[in-house]
Structure formats: structure tokens, C-alpha cells
Chains A and B, each alone.
Chain A
């Protein structure tokens, strides 16, 4: 039993070695006092990618860097900065990759157009089918 506990403890101790020993940034886990500002910050943090654990948002991640980024976001929101300005500031540094919110750029247009194109194809196919039935009925 003792050995098992020791082995388990080792299992949890290993990742600590590769991490820093500093406490998290002041606003990494502390919400802003103003609920409206905190909601704004939360909405933004949920759509920013954590660069250390890349399929999580900085709101989800416990990586120290994500904590530092949350601190940044909350500090800037508290200073009255617009969330989209903060997003743009980060995109300037990391590219569109850092944002989960789709940006309106030409590269996205095929994606937005795809549903319309498929609807159009479906309409054309259906039209052809209905017409064929009609022709058959007429000739019969």
C-alpha cells in the first residue's frame, strides 16, 4: 500500500519539475470586482487559444502562461480596453491562430460560401429530377 501511494505520488510529482515555482499571476484565478467587466473578460478568454496546450482556451487551461495571459486580459479590461482590441493585439503577435473566433478574411469565404453552394447544387439536382418525372408523365 505504502509503495502504491509512493508510486502515485511520484506520478503526480513528475510534471512539477518541468514547471516554474512561482505563484500564479494576481488575476490568473481572481475575478474582476465588476461583474460586467468580468463577463466581458470571460467571453474573450474563452475564445483565445492557450499556446502551451493548444486545443484549450486560456480560460480552460492551468498552464502558467495561460494564467499570465488571463492576468493580461483582466488587467486590460479593467483599464477599459475593448475586448476586440485585445484580440487584435494578440493576433498581431501570434497570428489568427491565437483566436478561436473566425476572422472575416478572404481565406474564410469558401467556408461561408460552401453551404450556399451545396443548397444550390441540391436545388439544381431536385429540379432535374422533378422535371424528368413530369416528362415521363407527359409521354405516358
Chain B
């Protein structure tokens, strides 16, 4: 025993330094790793909650759960006139509409005059726009920001969530998800 004690302790003496090194690497990795602030909805795969929102603008009717269950997949776009990326995704929504995609909008905490100006400036690809002044539907489907776009299948089940604006390169992806929601 007296023979191998010194040998073992000489190895053990490096252990604290090795541990410190490991923690140091962990901290540096945590500091420099890009932060992931996106909150993915846990509600994908579940049916839409019951809601009935009044119209957000004079041009389009309001939005209720029953009206979204049409047997055909459609998009639910959570947006607001005060949201800058929402303006950036407008051309992509318009492109989707021209491809025959039906899009319903939920306007989060918006005023009618602001919304009308926004739709006048960037176009109005929506079939219906519900007015969600208390973020009720937003929280109800597990959305945490604007814009977010959900693919809803024909039975009213949420099939896909797109976080952030739809960029031109995302249009194909959205179309594919709509296709998948058909089955």
C-alpha cells in the first residue's frame, strides 16, 4: 500500500486542474454560443382551441375556429402592423395567396387605423382577420411572437409552426407543409 500511494496521488493532483479546465471550456462555450431565443410551440399536432375573434378591419370578417375547419389545409398568420418583419414577409404571403393558399390572419394588439394603413401599404392576402387585443389566441396556440405562421389541416389540427418571417426561400417549404397536411 505504501508503494502505490504516491503514484496515485501524483495523478490525483492534476484532477482539480482538469476539472477547472473542463468548467472553463464549458463557460466559454456557453458565452460564445449564439443564444437560441425562439420558443417552439408545444401545441403542434393538437387541434386549434375554440375562439371567436371580431373583425380587425372593415374589409375582412373576423375569425373563429369553426370557420377554419374547411376540409382544406390553410395558413394562420399571427402578425401586427407594428411589427417590422411582418411587412417584410408580405410579398411571400401574397405569392402564397396567388398559388391558391388560403390565409387567415390574427392581428395582435392592433388599432384599426394602423392596420388599415399597413394593409394599404403592403397588401392584404388574408381571407379573414381576427382582432386579438389580449393575445388570447396567440397564447392559446403557443405562439410567442410576431410574425409566426401555422399550417392548419382540414380538420383544424395545427400541423406546422413557422417562427419569424417567411422569407422568399421559405415559400417552397410552406407549400410542402401544406401538401403534407392534406394527407
Contact = CB atoms under 8 A, between A and B. Distances in A.
Interface in A37-72: 51-52, 54, 64-65, 68-69, 71-72
B136 A94 contact: no
A34 to B, nearest CB: 21
Contacts of A68: 109, 134-136, 138-139
A18 interface: yes
Nearest to A20: B109
A21 B82 contact: yes
Considering residues A51, A54, A71, which has the most beta carbons from chain B within 10 angstroms of its beta carbon?
A51
Contact of B110 (A17, A22, A52, A65): A22
B37 interface: yes
Most chain A beta carbons < 10 A, residue from B41, B46, B110, B134: B134
Interface residues of A, number: 24
Contacts of B144: 51-52, 65, 94
Contacts, number: 67
A69 B140 CA distance: 11
Interface string A91-117: 111110110000000000000000000
Interface of A: 17-22, 25, 51-52, 54, 64-65, 68-69, 71-72, 90-95, 97-98
Nearest to A54: B37
Given A51-B144, A54-B37, A94-B42, A22 B139 contact: no
Interface of B: 37, 39-43, 46, 80, 82-84, 108-111, 114, 133-136, 138-142, 144-145
Q: Name the prevailing secondary structure of the B interface residues.
A: loop
A72 B42 contact: no
B43 A25 contact: no
Contacts of A93: 41-43, 139-142
B28 to A, nearest CB: 20
Contacts of B43: 92-93
Contacts of A97: 39
Given A20-B110, A71-B134, A95-B39, 9 more contacts: A18-B84, A20-B109, A65-B135, A72-B136, A92-B43, A93-B139, A93-B140, A94-B41, A98-B39
